[in-house]
Amino acid sequence: MFRVTRRYAFAASHRLHSPQLGDDENRRIYGKCNNPYGHGHNYLIDVSARGPADDATGLAVNLAALDDLVRREILQPFGHSNLNTDTDAFQGVVPTSENLAVEICRRLKRHWSAAFPGAWPKLEKIRIAETERNIFELGADEIE
């Protein structure tokens, strides 16, 4: 059984601000990330899948199929966008990297079987590096 991880990058901006909290509490919790004008990141996304190597191809994951899926579901809708205003996914949801990981995982799982018909490979996890020091991981089995 192999785990194959493919890395992708996109730039996007966001503002961390919860409408459920007052302005002072938003500033206290999110600090400079609560800037009314937002701020940007160069996100690095690792998508990990697992499966056995195919007897005919020797591959555990068809990387071209994975690239197409990620490009369509993640890079095109989120790249060079303001996550707060340019995407439906974050209307009413604070676009933290945790919530971004959940949304990425949901999008990939929703279209996984079309990209990878059959029992293998399985989506295993998503890893997002927001900065050098802020890294978030989410197991695919933790999301429905």
Active site residues: 33, 80, 130
Q: Which residues on neighbouring strands pair with residue 79, listed in sequence order?
A: none
Q: Collect all residues with Cβ–Cβ distance below 8 Å to 95 and sequence separation of at least 6.
A: 14, 15, 16, 83, 84
State the number of CA atoms in the 13 A half-sphere of 107 facing the CB: 23
Placement of tokens 């999110």 in the chain: 30
Please state, in angstroms and as integers, the Cα–Cα distance from residue 88 to each residue in 9, 54, 98, 140, following that order. Answer: 21, 38, 17, 22
Rounded (10°) angle between helices 63-70 and 97-115: 130
Residue 18 to residues 11, 21, 81: CA-CA distances in angstroms? Answer: 22, 6, 19
Tokens standing for residue 10 = 């996109």
